[in-house]
Chain A
Amino acid sequence: SQQGEEDPQALSIQEGENATMNCSYKTSINNLQWYRQNSGRGLVHLILIRSNEREKHSGRLRVTLDTSKKSSSLLITASRAADTASYFCATWDERGKLIFGQGTELSVKP
């Protein structure tokens, strides 16, 4: 079963708006990563947040982590059409494998 699951599955917004995606996971983690995928191709690593961190920023990205709720959120501020992509959270399972969620498909309309 998936370690991480994203919500919503799809999100459509206008350029300039903020986009928030949520991820839930099942087991204890040391850290959680967010990846971006364009057009069903290779994934690009966006940001990693450790279990002892509550919030992390990188440019227009803001990631939060709530280990008590086993959830994380990715916020993209002032979205652009170029942000249109699928976004995945990923965690490591007990055997050291990277497990991905189903992803959120973000569409930013100009």
Chain B
Amino acid sequence: GAGVSQSPSNKVTEKGKDVELRCDPISGHTALYWYRQSLGQGLEFLIYFQGNSAPDKSGLPSDRFSAERTGGSVSTLTIQRTQQEDSAVYLCASSSLGLAEETQYFGPGTRLLVL
């Protein structure tokens, strides 16, 4: 079946504007993850959704970042009042059951540039 998809592929915005990034996980996958990757760095965990449970938001860097997952499928990551340091690639991943140590499947990412 189709893999994880993300939109937009690229986003350029001005400092102070809000942005929304979308993730469509693999159909039937119950777990969804958001990561951030700054230039030349590894991935930084942001947030994790598992079924109907309350999301694990422990990785969100500030209260300007929020995410929701509607109907247990599509997720939107929102960054309010963007700052230049928010420029990064935002990657989404999903896994089948969200079990500990289960393989995650990644989308192509959204490259965000804040001017």
Residues of A within 8 A of B (CB): 2, 4, 30-31, 33, 35, 40-45, 48, 88, 92, 95-103
- Minimum C-beta distance from A107 to chain B (A): 14
Residues of B within 8 A of A (CB): 4, 33, 35, 37, 40-43, 45, 48, 56, 58-59, 89, 91, 93, 100-101, 103-109, 111
Contacting pair A92 B100 (CB below 8 A): yes
- Minimum C-beta distance from B19 to chain A (A): 18
Contacting pair B106 A42 (CB below 8 A): yes
Contacting pair A43 B91 (CB below 8 A): yes
Contact (A42, B108) CB under 8 Å given A92-B101, A96-B100: yes
Contacting pair B101 A31 (CB below 8 A): yes
Contact (A42, B91) CB under 8 Å given A33-B103, A92-B100, A98-B104: yes
Q: Please give 19 more A-B residue pairs, beta carbons under 8 A apart, in addition to A42-B109, A45-B105, A103-B41.
A: A30-B101, A33-B103, A40-B89, A41-B89, A41-B108, A42-B107, A43-B106, A45-B103, A45-B104, A48-B103, A88-B42, A88-B43, A92-B100, A97-B48, A97-B59, A99-B45, A100-B43, A101-B42, A102-B42
